[in-house]
């Protein structure tokens, strides 16, 4: 099963992706957490593991990837990555770091000034997710880049379920509506998590997000904020994550 986590920048996507991965691991699943955010470098830190070689870098960077996939280089088409189905344990070992049942795969990052757009990373994310097979006890969690560009790339259509993270911000409400419409067109079920609210903001969030699509509500928590502020591993489990895991299991059983 493949679950995609999305939302606007700062909504808490990466934190929630890490917490879901840890909670599902505690339920007995083996997790592949895919870092598909080209700009955020912090997901590995939240898990307390090292940053692996990115999949893009292992393929020779953007230049090497373009040569493998571009029509201007037909002689290299046999080397196009992920032409065939692939299991999680067949992903190149240097592109995976693992901690206690959670594997981390980083698709690619923007490293240098003027290196160009992140479109090749988006293409590679779609290629990987479209060819990835998994066993019954394996779940793939995909932490996407901020916004809705991944919908335009068609990445979401390769997943079985989308979770939109909504923080107390009007722009987040607008984005949630766009995500819902695009998920419907992609034919993928979408659910929402209300995140980082307090007693002053929760009523407004309820008014702007359809309650039938909300699967969890996670209030602002000092412990999470301080862990992120000081660059520490997330070391605490939260009961608020349980409804998300239960819905993921429900969808998984229907697939």
CATH assignment at residue 76: 3.40.50.300
Q: d(Cα 243, Cα 254) in Å, to the nearest integer?
A: 17
pLDDT band at 209 (very low <50, low <70, confident <90, very high): very high
Closest to 195 in 3D by CA, of 173, 178, 179, 212: 173
For residues 169 and 183, what is the distance between their CA atoms, to the nearest angstrom?
21
Alpha carbon distance, N-terminus to C-terminus of the chain: 8
Residue 235's domain comprises 2-254
Mean per-residue pLDDT of the chain: 87
**Ranges 57-71, 88-102, 130-144, 169-183: which has the least confidence:** 57-71
Which range, 63-67, 98-102, 150-154, 165-169, has the best average confidence (pLDDT)?
Answer: 165-169
Burial letters 48-87, b for 16+ CB under 10 A, else e:
ebeebebbbbbbeebebbbebbeeeeeeeeeeebbeeeee
Q: What is the mean pLDDT of residues 219-229?
A: 88
pLDDT of residue 67: 77
Pick from 130-139, 196-205, 236-245 the range whose average pLDDT is largest.
196-205
How far is the C-alpha of 216 from the C-alpha of 59, rounded, in Å?
38
Average pLDDT over residues 114-125: 79
More confident residue, 140 or 75: 140
Residue 27 clears pLDDT 70, i.e. is over it: yes
- Decide if pLDDT at 199 tops 80: yes
Tally of CB atoms within 10 A around 177: 13
Question: Would you say residue 9 has pLDDT above 60?
Answer: yes
Q: Report percent pLDDT > 70 for the chain.
A: 95
Residue 109 and residue 170: Cα distance in Å, rounded?
A: 29
CB 96 within 8 A of CB 103: yes
For the record, the structure tokens of 33 come out as: 């957490």
Mean pLDDT of the 23-41 span: 91
What was the pLDDT predicted at 72?
47
Tell me the pTM. 0.90
Q: Categorize the per-residue pLDDT at 77 as very low, low, confident or very high, splitting at 50, 70 and 90.
A: very low
Would you state the pLDDT for residue 5? 96
pLDDT of residue 73: 47
* Residues 3-13 as b or e (16 or more Cβ within 10 Å = b): bbbbbbeebbb
- The tokens 């593991």 sit on which residue? 49
Q: Is the dihedral of CA 42, 193, 101, 225 positive or negative?
A: positive
Total domain count, the chain = 1
């Amino acid at each position: 099963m493949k679950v995609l986590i999305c939302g606007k920048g700062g909504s808490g996507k990466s934190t929630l992706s890490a917490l879901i991965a840890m909670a599902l691991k505690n339920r007995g699943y083996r997790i592949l957490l895919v870092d598909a955010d080209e700009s955020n470098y912090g997901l590995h830190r939240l898990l307390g593991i090292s940053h692996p070689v990115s999949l893009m870098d292992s393929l020779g960077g953007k230049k090497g990837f373009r040569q493998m996939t571009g029509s201007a280089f037909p002689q290299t088409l046999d080397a196009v990555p992920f032409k065939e189905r692939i299991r999680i344990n067949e992903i190149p070992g240097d592109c995976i770091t693992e901690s206690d049942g959670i594997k981390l795969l980083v698709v690619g990052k923007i490293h240098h000034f003027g290196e160009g757009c992140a479109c090749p990373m988006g293409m590679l994310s779609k290629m990987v997710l479209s060819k990835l097979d998994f066993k019954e006890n394996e779940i793939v969690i995909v932490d996407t880049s901020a916004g809705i560009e991944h919908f335009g790339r068609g990445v979401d259509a390769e997943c079985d379920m989308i979770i939109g993270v909504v923080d107390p911000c009007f722009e987040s409400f607008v984005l949630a509506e766009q995500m819902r419409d695009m998920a419907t067109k992609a034919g993928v079920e979408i659910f929402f998590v209300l995140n980082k609210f307090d007693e002053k903001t929760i009523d407004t969030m309820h008014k702007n997000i359809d309650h039938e699509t909300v699967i969890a509500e996670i209030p602002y928590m000092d412990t999470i904020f301080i862990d992120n502020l000081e660059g520490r591993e997330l070391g605490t489990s939260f009961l608020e994550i349980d409804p998300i895991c239960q819905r993921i299991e429900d969808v998984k059983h229907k697939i």
